[in-house]
Amino acid sequence: MINKTPHLFCFGLGYSARWLARELKNEGWRVSGTHRFGEETREQASDENRLVFDRDHPLADFDILFADVTHVLVSVPPDGAGDPVLDVHGQDLARHAAHIQWLGYLSTVGVYGNTGGKPVNETSRLLPTQERSRFRGLAETRWQNLAVRSRLALQVFRLAGIYGPGRSPFDKVRAGRAQRIHSPGHLFSRIHVADIANVLKASMAKPDPGGIYNVCDDDPAQPSDVIKYACELLGKPVPKEIPYEEAVQTMSPMAQTFWADNRLIMNDKIKDELGVKLLYPDYKSGLKAVLEAEGV
């Protein structure tokens, strides 16, 4: 069943999904989706297009709800028990495969693990070192298996570090918590949230069931350089660099996992196959856009 008005359903209306939803609504799409139980704001609670979903709160009347859904985005992260969307509604989605034209699963470049700075592309072996990345890798495999069995039009997007308005290095600089950690040769990839939407829309326009895409910009960089540039844009003093060996002594366990992996993410496929032209191909253009959007 193909509708004149496309309908995107987002499992998890988080930061990236909300950006995409806003753009598609402006283009005339119908968009609905979910948030977790207990996280809804007053505005969300009164929005009939935002529904409560988590492992303990399945969607009611699924077949009615999905009767006209043409596109599905899954951004709900897996947990130690598995993938909540797959576990609760995987077979329901399979039942609607005939009219779901596109299903996007948001994963992470963390599934590649630590290559010591060597490049990885979409065909590289998955060797995740962090628990949350292992969960993602397992979830990818399970989604792929379901897609093969049911012919769901699945595409997997492995995202680099996400930034954008309200979620950028500016936040730490303004709060006086920015550090510049010196770790020579340790580069990180990132992606502006607008370019995530850019890639997803390009994929929707040219679906490739089974496709896997790395989503990052063209300019992997050291975090110390990114913080330095953020400080310069804000007119704030640039913190002195701290050797990684010193900084790691006071890092939280979560921060330590951030620094545990070093890899070079290749993004040729989104350009060669989807024809994507990045809006912000480097962190400098992206941060300038963030500052302008925040109006500060």
- The pTM score is 0.94
For residue 273, being part of any structural domain is answered with: yes
Mean pLDDT of the chain: 94
For residue 256, being part of any structural domain is answered with: no
Residue found under tokens 């379901």: 146
Question: Can you give the pLDDT at residue 45?
Answer: 42
For residue 232, being part of any structural domain is answered with: no
Residue 137, classed as helix, strand or coil, is: helix
Q: Say how many domains are in the chain.
A: 1
- Rounded Cα distance between 97 and 197, Å, is 23
Q: Which residues contact 296 (CB under 8 A, 6 or more apart)?
A: 170
Examine the pLDDT at 63 and tell me if it is beyond 90.
Answer: yes
Q: How sure is the predictor about 1, in pLDDT bands with cuts at 50, 70 and 90?
A: very low
For residue 236, being part of any structural domain is answered with: no
pLDDT in tens, 104-140: 999 999 999 999 999 999 999 999 999 999 999 999 9
For residue 103, being part of any structural domain is answered with: yes
For residue 131, being part of any structural domain is answered with: yes
- Rounded Cα distance between 264 and 266, Å, is 6
CATH number of the domain within which 39 lies? 3.40.50.720
Question: Can you give the pLDDT at residue 46?
Answer: 39
Q: Please compute Rg for the chain using Cα positions.
A: 20
Residue found under tokens 């693990």: 113
pLDDT in tens, 6-55: 999 999 999 999 999 999 999 999 999 999 877 655 444 434 478 999 99
Domain boundaries, position 130: 7-163+191-217+264-280
For residue 243, being part of any structural domain is answered with: no
Output the CA–CA distances (angstroms, integers) from residue 62 to 59, 96, 248, 278, in the order listed.
6, 10, 48, 36
Q: Which residues contact 59 (CB under 8 A, 6 or more apart)?
A: 34, 51, 53, 65, 88, 89
Examine the pLDDT at 142 and tell me if it is beyond 80.
Answer: yes
Examine the pLDDT at 180 and tell me if it is beyond 90.
Answer: yes
For residue 50, being part of any structural domain is answered with: yes
Question: Can you give the pLDDT at residue 40?
Answer: 56
